[in-house]
C-alpha cells in the first residue's frame, strides 16, 4: 500500500506549477544545416540560440562532435556579432565559446556557423553532429540553463546520386550527360579530374540500380576513352564498393 503525506502532496503540486516556468527559463542551442550532400561537397551547420528576455545570455560554450576524418572551420554568427562578442575555438573547432568585454545580451539567432567539407571517399549514410558540454552565463556572471535542441544529422548520398533522391537511376544518367555536353554546369565530376566527360557518364551508368550486365560492359571499346578495362574495374570499386564488378 502507498501512502502520500499532505506535505509531499503540496511539494509535488508546487513543483508541477513551477516546472513550466523553469523550462521556459532555459536557453536552447540548436544545430541546423545542409540535410544531404554527396562526397566532395560541403555541409553548412548553423548553431542558433533561443533564450528568454527574463534570462538573457551574455556568453556561451559548447562542444560539437566533428566526425572522424572530417575538418571544420567556424565563424561567429550574426547574433554574436551584433552583441560585440568574439568566437574562440580549439584548433579542430570542436570546442568553442563566445564572449566579449561587455555585458551585452546575445539575441536569438545564429551564434556560430560551421563549414564542413565531406571527404571524397566518404561512404553513403547518416553523419551526426552532436552537441555536448553546454554552458551559458548572464550579464553578471551567473549561470543560465542551456540545453541542446533536436539532434542534427546530415545524409551523405552516393557520389553518382546526382539528384540526391537516394537512388542512382536514369535521371542521374541524364544529368551527367547534360553536364558532359556543357548544357549545364559540371557539378557531378565522378573521377576527380575536375571535368564532366564521357568517363563520368560511364561511371554513373555503371553505378545504376540494377547494374548493367558485365558482358555488355566488356564489349565497350574502352581504348576510345583513354582507359583500360582493368582501370574501369578499379574505378567502379572506388565509386560503388558495395557492388564490385565481379558481382555484377
The DSSP code sequence of the chain is -----HHHHHHHHHHHHHHHHHHHT-EEEEEEE--EE-TT-EEEEEEEEE-BTTB--SEEEEEE-PPTT---EEEE-HHHHHTT-EEEE-TTSSEEEEE-SS-PPPPSEEEEEEEEEPPTTPPSEEEE--EEEEEEE-TTS-B--EEE-S--EEEEPPTT-TT-SSS--HHHHHHHHHHHTTSS-----SSSSS---HHHHHHHHHTSSSPPPHHHHHTS-GGGGT--HHHHHHHHHHH-TTS-GGG-
- What's the average model confidence in pLDDT over 169-173? 85
Write down the CATH number for the domain with range 26-156.
2.60.40.680
- What's the average model confidence in pLDDT over 53-65? 92
Instruction: Work out the pLDDT band at 17, boundaries 50, 70, 90.
Output: very low
Instruction: Work out the pLDDT band at 214, boundaries 50, 70, 90.
Output: low
For the entire predicted model, the pTM comes to 0.71
Where along the chain do its domains lie?
A: 26-156, 170-241
181-208 pLDDT, tens digit each = 899 999 999 888 899 998 898 888 888 7
Q: Is 221 exposed, middle or buried (0-12, 13-18, 19+ CB in 10 A)?
A: exposed
| pLDDT greater than 90 at residue 5 | no
- What's the average model confidence in pLDDT over 57-65? 97
| pLDDT greater than 60 at residue 18 | no
Instruction: Work out the pLDDT band at 15, boundaries 50, 70, 90.
Output: very low
71-115 pLDDT, tens digit each = 999 999 999 999 999 999 999 999 999 999 999 999 999 999 999
Amino acid at each position: 500500500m502507498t501512502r502520500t503525506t499532505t506535505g509531499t502532496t503540496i511539494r509535488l503540486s508546487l513543483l508541477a506549477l513551477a516546472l513550466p516556468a523553469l523550462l521556459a527559463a532555459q536557453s536552447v542551442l540548436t544545430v541546423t544545416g545542409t540535410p544531404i550532400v554527396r562526397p566532395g561537397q560541403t555541409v553548412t551547420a548553423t548553431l542558433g540560440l533561443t533564450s528568454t528576455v527574463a534570462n538573457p545570455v551574455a556568453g556561451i560554450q559548447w562542444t560539437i562532435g566533428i566526425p572522424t576524418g572530417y575538418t571544420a572551420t567556424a565563424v561567429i554568427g550574426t547574433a554574436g556579432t551584433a552583441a560585440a562578442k568574439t568566437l574562440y575555438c580549439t584548433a579542430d573547432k570542436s570546442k568553442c565559446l563566445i564572449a566579449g568585454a561587455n555585458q551585452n545580451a546575445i539575441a536569438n539567432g545564429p551564434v556560430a556557423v560551421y563549414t564542413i567539407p565531406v571527404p571524397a571517399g566518404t561512404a553513403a549514410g547518416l553523419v551526426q553532429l552532436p552537441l555536448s558540454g553546454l554552458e551559458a552565463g548572464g550579464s553578471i556572471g551567473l549561470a543560465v540553463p542551456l540545453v541542446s535542441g533536436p539532434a542534427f544529422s546530415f545524409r551523405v548520398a552516393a557520389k553518382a546520386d546526382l539528384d540526391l533522391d537516394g537512388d542512382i537511376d536514369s535521371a542521374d544518367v541524364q544529368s551527367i550527360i547534360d553536364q558532359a555536353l556543357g548544357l549545364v554546369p559540371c557539378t557531378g565530376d565522378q573521377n576527380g579530374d575536375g571535368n564532366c566527360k564521357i568517363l563520368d557518364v560511364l561511371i554513373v551508368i555503371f553505378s545504376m540500380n540494377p547494374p548493367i550486365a558485365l558482358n555488355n560492359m566488356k564489349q565497350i571499346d574502352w581504348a576510345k576513352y583513354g582507359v583500360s578495362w582493368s582501370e574501369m574495374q578499379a574505378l567502379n570499386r572506388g565509386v560503388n564498393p558495395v557492388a564490385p564488378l565481379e558481382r555484377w
